[in-house]
Amino acid sequence: MQAIQNFYPLLTQPKKILITTHQKPDGDAMGSSLGLYHFLIQFGHQVTVVSPTNWAAFLNWMPGCEKVIDFENKREESIAAIQQADILFCLDFNVLHRTRNMESYLKKANCIKVLIDHHQQPEEEAFAYGISNTGKSSTCEMVYDFIIGSGYADKLNIAIATSLYTGIMTDTGSFRFPSTTASVHKAVAHFKELGLNHTAIHENIYDNFSESRLRFIGQALLNRLDVLYEYNTAMMAISKYDLIKYEIKTGDTESLVNYLLTIQGIKVGALVIDRDEERKWSFRSKGDFDVNTFARNHFEGGGHRNAAGGRSSESLDQTVRKFKQIIQQYEQELQ
C-alpha cells in the first residue's frame, strides 16, 4: 500500500469514483463518506456513495445523504457502480469483510483501491494507496487531513465541514475521549471559520429519537443491567423480544453501551444484542484495558483500544455465559 500522498496527482483527472464504508454506518462512516463526496465532485469526478446496508434515520439530514445507495435495497445499481468504478475509496473500516455482502464484489473490482481508516490491523495488501492511523480521533479527521494535505483546502465548504464535524463529534464522544487532540480542535475551529452551525448538528444527532427509544433505554437500564463489581465490569444483554416490543430500528441502540461506563469504578462495559443472524457485541473500556485485543481473542471482532465490537453465533444465553467466564481471566488487570 503506497502512501496516501502518492494519490494526490490523480485528484485532478476526472474519473468514476465509488466511496463505501462499513455496514450499518455510524456518524463517522457516513460523515467521512459524504465529506469526501462533496470534495471530489468539485474536480469533475462522477462520484457514487454506496453503503453496504441501511443506516440510522438520524443521519438522513446530512448534506448529500439522499444520494447514498443502500446496497441491500439496490443491488444491481450498486454492483454496476462497483464494476464501473475507476477508483474505490474505503472509509472507516480496516478489512473488506466489514462491508458484508459487498465484500466479494469489492475484491473482484478492477480499479484503484484507496484506504482511509483509523482501526488497528488494516488489510493493507488489498489497497493500492492508503493511510491507517490509529492515533486519529476519527476517519472524518483523516479526510480533513487528506483535503488539507492535497493542497486544496480552498475547496472546503459548509457541506464538507458539516459532514466531517458530525463524524469527529460522534467518534470523540462530543470531544471527551482521549483521542480528542489539539489537531481535532484546530479542525473544528477551521469549520467554525467557514460558518459551521454546530448546534444544529448536535440537535440532529442527539435530539432526534422516538419516544419508544427512550422507554427502551429505561427498560434496558432497569431490567437488563448486570454489574460484576468483582471484575469492575458492567454488561447488558438485549433480547430480540426487547427489540420487537420497543420497535427498535437501526441506530436506536447506538451509545447504549456508553451508559455502562458511567457507573463509578467500572472499567469495562459490554453490550450484546440478539440480532436475527448473530449476537452483536459492543465493548468499551477506561484506561489501559484493551477491548480491541479482547474482542479479537474471544468474539471474532476488533476495533480500538477502548472501543471495539464483536459477534457470536451462539445463543444469547450462551454468549452471555461465555463472556462472564472469560472476564474472570482478566481479574488482575481490572482491579
Q: What is the pLDDT of residues 6-63, one digit of tens each?
A: 999 999 999 999 999 999 999 999 999 999 999 999 999 999 999 999 999 999 999 9
In the CATH hierarchy, which fold is given to the domain comprising 211-330?
Answer: Diaminopimelate Epimerase; Chain A, domain 1 (3.10.310)
For 7, 137, 168, the CA distances from 184, given in Å and listed in that order, are 24, 7, 8
State mean pLDDT over 109-122: 94
Helical (H) or strand (E) element with 35 = helix 27-40
**Identity of the residue numbered 200:** A
Same fold across 2-206 and 211-330 = no
**Identity of the residue numbered 307:** A
Higher pLDDT, 200 or 124: 200
Q: Residue 277: what pLDDT?
A: 84
Q: Residue 172: what pLDDT?
A: 94
State mean pLDDT over 270-294: 94
Percentage, residues of the chain above pLDDT 70: 100
Helical (H) or strand (E) element with 182 = helix 182-193
State mean pLDDT over 271-289: 93
Q: Residue 276: what pLDDT?
A: 81
Q: Residue 121: what pLDDT?
A: 85
Q: Residue 26: what pLDDT?
A: 95
- pLDDT over threshold 90, residue 174: yes
Cα 21 to Cα 102: distance, rounded to the nearest angstrom? 10
Strand, helix or coil at 73? coil
Residues in contact with 313: Cβ distance below 8 Å, sequence separation at least 6, in sequence order: 278, 279
Q: What does pTM read for this prediction?
A: 0.90
For 75, 114, 255, the CA distances from 65, given in Å and listed in that order, are 18, 22, 22
Q: Residue 133: what pLDDT?
A: 95
Q: Residue 6: what pLDDT?
A: 96
pLDDT tens-digit series, residues 118-146: 998 889 899 999 999 999 999 999 999 99
Q: Residue 208: what pLDDT?
A: 87
State mean pLDDT over 111-115: 97
State mean pLDDT over 319-331: 96
* Range 79-82 contact pairs with CB under 8 angstroms and sequence separation of 24 or more: 79/105, 81/18, 81/48, 81/50, 82/18, 82/50, 82/106, 82/109
Domain residue limits, the chain: 2-206, 211-330
Identify the CA nearest to 146 among candidates 238, 39, 15: 39
pLDDT tens-digit series, residues 306-323: 999 999 999 999 999 999
Cα 67 to Cα 163: distance, rounded to the nearest angstrom? 14
Identify the CA nearest to 88 among candidates 136, 59, 45: 45
Angle of helix 182-193 versus helix 139-150 axis, rounded to 10:
70
Residues in contact with 45: Cβ distance below 8 Å, sequence separation at least 6, in sequence order: 14, 15, 16, 17
**Identity of the residue numbered 180:** T
In the CATH hierarchy, which fold is given to the domain comprising 2-206?
Answer: inorganic pyrophosphatase (n-terminal core) (3.90.1640)
Quick one: pLDDT band at residue 226, thresholds 50, 70, 90? very high
Cα 50 to Cα 79: distance, rounded to the nearest angstrom? 10
Q: Residue 304: what pLDDT?
A: 87
Strand, helix or coil at 227? strand
Q: How far is Cα of residue 155 from the mean position of the Cα atoms in its chain?
A: 25
